[in-house]
Amino acid sequence: MKLGFNQATTLENSNLATDLELCEKHGYDYIEIRTMDKLPEYLKQYSLEQLSSYFQEHHIKPFALNALVYFNNRSEEDYQQLINEFKQMLECAKELQVPYIVAVPLVTKEKIQKKDIKESSVAVLHELAELAEPYGIKLAVEFVGHPECTINTFEQAYDIVQTVDNPNVGLVLDCFHFHAMNSSIEALKQADISKVFILHMDDTEDFPTGSLVDEDRVWPGHGAIDLEGILTVLKEKGFDGPVTVELFRPEYYEMKAEDVIRKAKETTEEVITKYL
């Protein structure tokens, strides 16, 4: 099983150049590049061509651009800005040979009916997929396990992806988000596993449903998520994609970046080698 690193894990104590150096040193296979902050910071000093050359010359490879945020239920003005941002991401992904772009649903305090969320999401994903097709790049929708996210369970996200019915549109299954709003193991058992493009590995403190936030994440295997249940289903269904560790823990940001990267790899491997 290939192992990836999501840069949120060292969000406040490292940068892209350092993450690459340390992930290469500690044997990671892939990296998910944060386009909201770490990539723009990198490009103040280096070029995309230099980043592309780095990947060509080293073992570690780019796995996803993370992320196109709040893609659904936007105003017309916001939507046009989103499309322009996505086109730029496609060019970046092409240069770096990145196979996936992660798309994150709208998070809002506004109450929106599920039928309107689905209608908007399906329409937008159709258009994004059409734009991405010439590049050979796939879209991975990441539901967020919080009440204020418009798509916050596996079941809801899977239904939308199934309705889109495009082989280039699938899901990010983040174990934290799966747990946080009580997504159904039974729904996962019934799902077409080829629709799970990316698996995020993490764990969490044991807070009630609906109250969890990203900062509650802990090392894989050190929390309350039924990782055994999730991974057993994935194994039975033949999932063989990379596993990416993604943590947002504030106290981990106070550690040395290398210690976090090493510990994240150790704890992730301890969990996944039992199942995948």
Residues 6+ apart with CB under 8 A from 265: 3, 5, 26, 27, 28, 245
- What share of residues in the chain are helix, strand, coil (percent, to 5)? 45, 20, 35
Nearest CA to 74 among 102, 103, 101?
A: 103
The mean pLDDT of 212-230, rounded to a whole number, is 98
pLDDT of res. 276: 85
The C-alpha R_g of the chain, in whole angstroms, comes to: 18
Instruction: Output the DSSP codes for 171-225.
Output: EEEEHHHHHHTT--HHHHHHS-GGGEEEEEE-EE--PPTT---GGGEESTTSSSS
Distance between CA atoms of 240 and 84, rounded to whole angstroms? 33
pLDDT band of residue 189 (cuts 50, 70, 90) is very high
> Going along the chain, which residue ranges are E strands?
3-6, 30-34, 61-69, 100-104, 138-142, 169-174, 196-201, 203-204, 217-218, 243-245
In DSSP terms, 174 is beta-bridged to 200
The per-residue pLDDT for range 121-177, each reduced to its tens digit, is: 999 999 999 999 999 999 999 999 999 999 999 999 999 999 999 999 999 999 999
Instruction: Answer whether 0.85 is exceeded by the pTM.
Output: yes
The mean pLDDT of 23-35, rounded to a whole number, is 98
List the domain boundaries for the chain: 3-275
Q: CA-CA-CA-CA torsion for 81, 87, 92, 94, nearest 10 degrees?
A: 170
Distance between CA atoms of 100 and 91, rounded to whole angstroms? 12
How crowded is residue 135: how many other Cβ atoms within 10 Å of its Cβ? 16
**Straight-line distance from the first to the last Cα atom of the chain, in angstroms, rounded to the nearest whole number:** 7
Average per-residue pLDDT for the chain: 98
- Tokens matching residue 268: 């992730």
CA 39 to chain centre: 16
pLDDT of res. 117: 98
The answer to whether 227 and 268 have CB atoms below 8 angstroms apart is no
Phi, psi of 257 (to 5 degrees): -55, -40
Superfamily of domain 3-275: Divalent-metal-dependent TIM barrel enzymes (3.20.20.150)
The per-residue pLDDT for range 45-77, each reduced to its tens digit, is: 999 999 999 999 999 999 999 999 999 999 999
The per-residue pLDDT for range 238-251, each reduced to its tens digit, is: 999 999 999 999 99
The answer to whether 84 and 119 have CB atoms below 8 angstroms apart is no
Task: Give SS3 for 237.
Answer: coil
The answer to whether 128 and 71 have CB atoms below 8 angstroms apart is yes
